[in-house]
Structures are given as structure tokens and as C-alpha cells.
Structure 1
Amino acid sequence: MTAQVLSTNRLILRKMREKDVDYLLEIFSDKEAMRYYPACKSREDTKKWVEWTLHHYKVYGFGMWIVEEKRSGCFLGQCGLVLQKMDGCVEVEIGYLFARRYWGSGYATEAALACKKYGFEEIGLSKLISLIDPENKASIKVAKRIGMSYEKTIRKWDKKLDLFSCIPKVEEM
């Protein structure tokens, strides 16, 4: 089974591997990149994240994927689909988190758009969400660029988050 899940003009999205811990630590140990998350992650936390993600693939068939630049193979970040429990139901979230040195390059939008298409066309989902800290203006821009709109504010992880969502358009079905 191939590790590649998705491909865009500039990107490869592939399944995470245990040896990706060092790549992910570039993001997870960066206080600025993790500003809107509860805390930075240690090496052990990052290993647990990779294990959780690998389990997610086995159980649900999708998860967060490693994003690499197609031309160079360089690690850029992670983007994918994750289950989120809230308000008594489960939704599928498009999540994205990139190394700070690649911010502003359009990679998050490109990867998130590919995940949106995959969720609607390959999995057949009827809705996708993104949970975003209201202060995270860059993530809000990505959500809006891929066609999501603000739905409501919720409370999760002991903080207020804006829930953005989208449904497939007729031509996406």
C-alpha cells in the first residue's frame, strides 16, 4: 500500500510514519506555531500523536497526513481529516498546521482544498468543519479561501473556538 494519499500541483500528502517525529517536532516545539494550541509538544507527546494518527488510519481510513513539497520532497507540515466530538455528535474536521518557515506560501490552502475535495468526493461526507481560535486570523483566511464560512462559536478544550463549515456544492458531488 502506497503512503501517498493526495497530490496537488505542488504538494504530496502522505500517510504519517513513526520516523516523522523529528519533522513534526519542528512545529510542535515552536511556541509561535503552537500559539493557539494548549501547549507545545515534547518528543514523547509527538510520538503519541503519530501513534494516535496511525490508529486513526486503521479505524477510520483517514487522518492527518504529512505534507511535502512535490519537487523537493521537503517536509512542510501536516493537513488532513480528523474526527471531532462536540455538542453530542461527531464531525469531520479539516486540520492544518505548517512549519513557520513556510507560512504565507499558500501551502495550507492548497493542502486543505485537496482534503476538502477528498472528503466530499472520495469519502462522501456531507459536511466538513474547522475549529479555529478566533484570534488565529491566518487559519480563518485558509478556511474562507477553501469555501468555509463561520457557523458558530463553541467551547472545546476549555476555550472558545469558532466553527467554520462547508457542505459539498452540486458540482462537487
Structure 2
Amino acid sequence: MQIETPRLILRPWSLADAPHYVTMSKDIGYNCFASPGVYLARDANDLNAKIQKRMDTFDRHGISKFPIFRKQDGVFIGTCGADFFEFESRPEMEMGYRLLLAHWGQGYASEAALAMRDYLFHKVGAHSLYGFAVKQNSASIRVLEKIGFRYRQVIDYEGMEHQLFEGRPAL
């Protein structure tokens, strides 16, 4: 499985992607709206376990937060994909994206998110998707709006207030 856009390639993780995971775990842009330390790996075993968890999610459900690479030079720029979260006492699919700081402001998040939205609706068969961001992350909120998600409500996620958006397939 591989998703291609005009400028990007999104594909499942492999254990060979460990250097990319380390890069994202230390990047200020990737982590600035996340709970502190959530992506850090304590050692090589922890690093492999974090990557393996993403691989297992893909193997079981066809979804993951996939690494994103620039087509022109193969540079790793961030992640985009989906995972499950608990909403109103039921599991729902959350779509998210995070970029390394050096790649902000170039339209990559919108490009990846649009392709991922289409993959999740048309290949995975999702009936609805959710995306959320802290209100201070206006760029992420604009991406959700740009790909057709609509504001639904405020939720608490990992102890922080987030704006929740919902997307549904076009009829």
C-alpha cells in the first residue's frame, strides 16, 4: 500500500524507519501541540515497540499514522493517517497529521490530509472521520476545514481542550 500525491508519498512504517521516528520525536514542530514526551523513545527496544505498534495497527485495520516523504528527494517530512480514539463511549477513527517544523507552511499537511481522507473513505470504508486540534493550532484547524471537515464541539483529549471536527464522505 502506498498513497501518492503530486509531491508526496505516504506508506506504512517499517522497522528500517527508526531514524525517521527518532527525527520526529526530537523535532519541536512535530511535538509542539502534543503532550510532552509522547513520541520519545527511551531506548532501542522502546523505539522498535513504538514503530511495531504502528505496523500492527496497519496490519489489523489498514490504518496508521503513516510516514510522509517528499517525492522529489525522499526526505521524511512528518506523518499523516488515522488511529482509533474513544468518543461518546464508542471507538471512532481519528485522522491526524504532524509535520517537522522545517516543512510547515508549504501546503504539505493539506495535500497529505486530502489524500488520506480519500483513502480512509474509499479504501478503508470509513463512514465518518474525526480530527481535532487545540484552538491555538489554527493552521491544523484550517487544514481540517479545507478538506471538508466541520466543527462539532469542544472535547477533552489527553487532559487538553481540543476543537473536534467531523468529516463524512461526499454523496
What is the TM-score with the length of structure 1 in the denominator? Answer: 0.89
Matched with 1:78 is 79
Of 85-94 and 43-52, more deviation after overlay is shown by 43-52
Q: Which residue of 1 aligns with 2:148?
A: 147
Partners in 1 of 2:72 and 2:29 — Cα distance? 27
State the match for 1:165 in structure 2.
166
Which residue of 1 is the match for residue 62 of structure 2? Answer: 61
One-letter amino acid of the counterpart of residue 137, structure 2: N
Shift of 1:146: 0.8
Q: Distance in 1 between matches of 2:49 and 2:139?
A: 27
TM-score (norm 2): 0.90
Cα distance in 1, alignment partners of residues 29 and 123 from structure 2: 34
**2:117 counterpart residue number:** 116
Q: Quick one: which amino acid aligns to residue 85 of structure 1?
A: E
Relative distance call for 1:46 and 1:35 in structure 2 (3 A) is farther
Matched with 2:27 is 30
Which residues in structure 2 correspond to 1:2-41 (within 5 Å)? 4-40=1-37, 41=39
Unaligned 5+ runs, structure 1: none
Note the alpha carbon deviations across 1:57-116, whole angstroms, 9 max, x for none. Answer: 122122111111112111111111211112201111111111110101111110000010
Q: What code does the residue aligned with 2:54 have?
A: T
TM-superposed CA distance for 1:30, in Å, is 2.5
Q: Does 1:42 align with 2:40?
A: yes
Distance 2:147 2:47 in 1: 28
Q: Distance in 2 between matches of 1:97 and 1:112?
A: 10
Asked if the contact 2:81–2:95 (Cα under 8 Å) also holds between the matched residues in 1, the reply is: yes
Aligned residues: 167
Question: What secondary structure, in the 3-state scheme, does the structure 1 residue paired with 2:123 have?
Answer: helix
Cross-structure match for 1:52? 53
* 8 Å CA contact 1:134, 1:161 repeated in 2: yes
Identity %: 28
